[in-house]
Chain A
Amino acid sequence: MAKRLDLKAVDIFYGDFHAVQDVNLSVSPRSVTSFIGPSGCGKSTVLRTLNRMHEEIPGARVDGEVLLDGEDIYARNADAVAVRRTIGMVFQRPNPFPTMSIRDNVVAGLKLQGVRDKKKLDEVAEASLRGANLWKEVKDRLDKPGGGLSGGQQQRLCIARAIAVQPDVLLMDEPCSALDPISTLAIEDLIGDLKKEYTIVIVTHNMQQAARVSDQTAFFNLEATGKPGKLVEIDDTEKIFSNPREQATEDYISGRFG
């Protein structure tokens, strides 16, 4: 559980378009790293390369190495499906499976991987829902559809679903941007709990959120539209928000642009 991620000289392309240039960074286990930066700077793109999700877009391609505890997830015989089993993801908009009950949503990953043992599935469902701070709210309606929950509850359901397959790393792509402040707070608290067991990388547009939840912050920027995005700097969150090395970072976090 909780493995280390290293990106070495990562370049990302969509067809001919060079989306992100030369990213080098490390994420240590049991920590939260947030990616911030203006829209279009490639932070979500980088996040999606961390579990090979970007491959779903035709023409996408990655150069360089993404190492999970030293193992390249882009090695020639590495199976993308196996990579995604190890590196889970939570999306911007809550997306529970509409045809499934709350319980089935949580254990969907295991069930579709062939786990049949009902007792084990029930245990995992409870443990994951507890882990996502949702158990108390839904324990009496586990057989109701997941779509009936509120937005914040749905997002926690999606987090429960992601941790039910016991990944080593959890990626979150703006997990709170569709939620109200109270639900956001619930998710942020949850992130604090989850980092005891998982390596977490989170993309956020909300700088206060980055400051609240993360140990380490990476600032991405792009020089101009059509140019590739770049990692400007990565450092301890405290340092980035108090005394960043780069002028661009300071301009961004102090609200002068972006």
Chain B
Amino acid sequence: MSTATGLNSPERPATTPTFQAPSTGRKIKNNVATFLVGLAFVIALIPLVWVLATVVVRGIGAILSSDWWGKSLSGVLPESYAGGVYHAIYGTLIQAALAAVIAVPIGILAAIYLVEYGRGRLARTTSFMVDILAGVPSIVAALFVFAAFISILGAEQSAFMVSLALVLLMLPVVIRNTEEMLRLVPDELREAAYALGIPKWKTILRIVLPTALSGTVTGVMLALARVMGETAPVLVLVGYSQSINFDPFSGNMASLPLLMFSELSNPEPSGQFRIWGAALTLIGIIMILQLGASVVSRFSAISK
């Protein structure tokens, strides 16, 4: 303020310019900080690019081979380069889908309870439990399902058991994410709906949920992508099969992580070939899911 008037007032002409170049010390600090931030970014990027490049380079041959997407490894000798992994792709997709069918409705309803209805002790306990569940390692979830369903209830190992373990891993992610999205919906919209004489349940169903939809869908997709790569549940809860098994409720079933694990014990170079191919396939599927999530969220994004 004083400098502005000082510059313009005729009584007090400015003797030195008010605006000078930044001091050398500040320039150095600025450059050092910029360099450090940039360096951190590059360092963080190196492993990511490295992993991706390695997987692409080593796996591209496998996924471009003619039988990769349409055949299983049924009857294929370990040293042979023939066969494909569609049995494992099917396994990964069906196990994740079954988990989602169970975890998404429960997760969304739980989040609605926490945000819209939860008061007092029950809500606090639920919230705390969700936090704990989020920290449970996947091997523990797998062992829990093994103990509860297979040892005690006498169920057999099957892909569905894997799905149950994946449910445990998906639930906290879906709940937390949906909760965040619902909390982002302004209370003003709820009040506007109440003031029109719309009951609370309808307000939640028709106003709050659609407003939070895009974020919720993105969260579900990310949770799905995460559980698809889980390895512990498939190691503990289902046997590996080289051929296709469409029934998730009985028998052995392959999945991409399980296929990679079992090919590890194949000493032939074709084993390596399949491992990298399966890794690239898994990354590809997850990438498609992420892209799908961003497309969905763009389509249903709230236009301002």
Q: Which of B134-142, B199-207, B251-259 lies on the face that meets chain A?
A: B199-207
Please determine whether B198 and A51 come into contact, CB atoms closer than 8 angstroms: no
B9 within 8 A of A: no
A93 within 8 A of B: yes
Please determine whether A95 and B202 come into contact, CB atoms closer than 8 angstroms: no
Please determine whether A98 and B197 come into contact, CB atoms closer than 8 angstroms: no
CA distance A97 to B191 in the complex (A): 11
A158 within 8 A of B: yes
B184-200 interface code vs A (CB 8 A; 1 in, 0 out) = 00101111111111110
Interface residues of B (CB under 8 A from A): 119, 186, 188-199, 202-203, 206-207, 210-211, 213, 302-304
CA distance A95 to B190 in the complex (A): 10
Q: In the complex where A112-B206, A113-B197, A165-B197 touch, is A145 in contact with B303 (Cβ < 8 A)?
A: yes
Please determine whether A58 and B192 come into contact, CB atoms closer than 8 angstroms: no
Please determine whether B196 and A91 come into contact, CB atoms closer than 8 angstroms: no
Q: In the complex where A53-B191, A148-B303 touch, is A99 in contact with B211 (Cβ < 8 A)?
A: yes
Residues of B within 8 A of A66 (CB): none
CA distance A169 to B274 in the complex (A): 72
3 tightest A-B CB contacts, nearest first: A85-B197, A109-B196, A89-B195
Q: In the complex where A58-B119, A98-B302 touch, is A84 in contact with B211 (Cβ < 8 A)?
A: no
Most A-side CB within 10 Å, residue of B188, B190, B194, B302 = B194
Q: A58-B119, A99-B213, A148-B303 are in contact. List 18 more A-B contacts (CB 8 A).
A: A56-B190, A84-B195, A89-B195, A95-B186, A95-B189, A98-B189, A98-B302, A99-B210, A99-B211, A108-B196, A109-B196, A145-B302, A145-B303, A147-B302, A148-B304, A158-B192, A161-B192, A162-B196
CA distance A88 to B196 in the complex (A): 6
Residues of A within 8 A of B202 (CB): 112
Picked from A51, A113, A145, A148, the residue with its CB within 8 Å of the CB of B195 is A51
Give the distance to chain B from A54, nearest Cβ to Cβ, in Å.
11
Q: Which residue of A lies closest to B195 (CB)?
A: A89
CA distance A112 to B199 in the complex (A): 9
Picked from B191, B198, B211, the residue with its CB within 8 Å of the CB of A56 is B191
Residues of A within 8 A of B303 (CB): 98, 145, 147-148
CA distance A51 to B119 in the complex (A): 24
Picked from B119, B192, B194, B195, the residue with its CB within 8 Å of the CB of A97 is B192
A residues 77-101 touching B (CB-CB < 8 Å): 81-82, 84-86, 88-89, 91, 93, 95-99
Chain A contact patch, size range: 20 to 34
Q: Which residue of B lies closest to A108 (CB)?
A: B196
CA distance A158 to B195 in the complex (A): 11
**What are 15 A-B contacts with C-beta separation under 8 Å?**
A53-B191, A53-B195, A81-B198, A85-B197, A95-B186, A97-B192, A97-B207, A98-B211, A99-B211, A108-B198, A109-B196, A112-B196, A147-B302, A147-B303, A158-B192
CA distance A109 to B194 in the complex (A): 9
Residues of A within 8 A of B211 (CB): 97-99
Please determine whether A99 and B191 come into contact, CB atoms closer than 8 angstroms: no
Residues of B within 8 A of A88 (CB): 195-196
CA distance A145 to B302 in the complex (A): 9
Q: Which residue of B lies closest to A144 (CB)?
A: B303
A residues 119-178 touching B (CB-CB < 8 Å): 145, 147-148, 158, 161-162, 165
CA distance A100 to B260 in the complex (A): 48
CA distance A147 to B301 in the complex (A): 12
CA distance A95 to B194 in the complex (A): 12
Please determine whether B302 and A95 come into contact, CB atoms closer than 8 angstroms: no
Please determine whether B198 and A113 come into contact, CB atoms closer than 8 angstroms: yes
Q: Which residue of A lies closest to B206 (CB)?
A: A112
CA distance A97 to B197 in the complex (A): 15
Residues of B within 8 A of A112 (CB): 193, 196, 198, 202-203, 206
Residues of A within 8 A of B304 (CB): 98, 147-148
CA distance A89 to B198 in the complex (A): 13
Please determine whether B194 and A161 come into contact, CB atoms closer than 8 angstroms: no
A residues 203-228 touching B (CB-CB < 8 Å): none
Residues of A within 8 A of B188 (CB): 91, 93, 95
Q: In the complex where A82-B197, A147-B304 touch, is A91 in contact with B207 (Cβ < 8 A)?
A: no
